[in-house]
Structure 1
Amino acid sequence: MMAHEIVIIVEGLTDKRQIEKIITDDVAIVCTNGTLGVEKFDDLLETYDLDNKNVLIFVDEDYSGIKLRKQLRHELPHAEHIYVSSEYREVATTPEHVLATALLSKRIAVNPIFLI
């Protein structure tokens, strides 16, 4: 079992890296790499104890992200969702101050330099 109480689920490594540089909280950031089969989801569920953690879903506002969000909403009904504007479409390309504000709204500590 992981020590992190908060798990953020993202699609890709670039999303993960973008979020990692903004947050100061000790959270686990998990990449799904876009798709999530039953076996892979079960592995994530067990590895990160997702049923017993505060889970945040932070995926792109494109076809694959919306599809993944729908799947995760079904599998993890207790998870909270963070949305990027359809103007930016992707977590990785969303301006850092917008990401920081979105994360802060979910009680994730961020480096204040990104709130400017």
Structure 2
Amino acid sequence: MDTVKKVIIVEGRTDKKQIEKVIEEDVEIICTNGTLGVERLEELLIEYDLDNKEVYILVDEDDSGKKLRKQLSFELPHAEHIYVDKTFREVAATPASELATALLSRRFQINPLFLL
């Protein structure tokens, strides 16, 4: 039985690595690798049981990220959104301390080293 209750959807592997650095709890991080086709999105919904989990969307603040966020919002209306400061544009380029603060605001357990 899958015990992970929280899922963060990101665009790419570098985003995932950046989040894994600061987070200190068991969270499933799904990489979409850009925009999703309807079929792939359906696979993700079933494979990760997204309708029955806490889903968070953390994507880049650029055109493709906004498009993906809109698409995911439609398919996962219960998902919560986490935003990075527009000055950094990309999740991967966001300083770990900024990312930690954003995740903490959504009740994630964070490595305290990144909150200094």
TM class by smaller structure? over 0.9
Separation in 2, partners of 1:29, 1:77: 18
Q: In the TM superposition, what is the alpha-carbon distance from 1:79 to its structure 2 partner?
A: 0.2
Q: Contact 1:60–1:90 at 8 Å: present in 2 too?
A: yes
Q: Identity over aligned residues, as a percent? A: 66
**Distance (Å, rounded) in 2 between the aligned partners of 1:3 and 1:37:** 27
**1:18-97 equivalence runs, <5 A:** 18-97=18-97
Q: Which amino acid aligns with 1:36?
A: L
Aligned counterparts of 1:41 and 1:3: Cα–Cα separation in 2: 22
Count of equivalent residues: 116
Q: Which residue of 1 aligns with 2:13?
A: 13
The corresponding residue for 1:115 is 115
Q: Are 1:8 and 1:58, in contact at CA under 8 Å, matched by a contact in 2?
A: yes
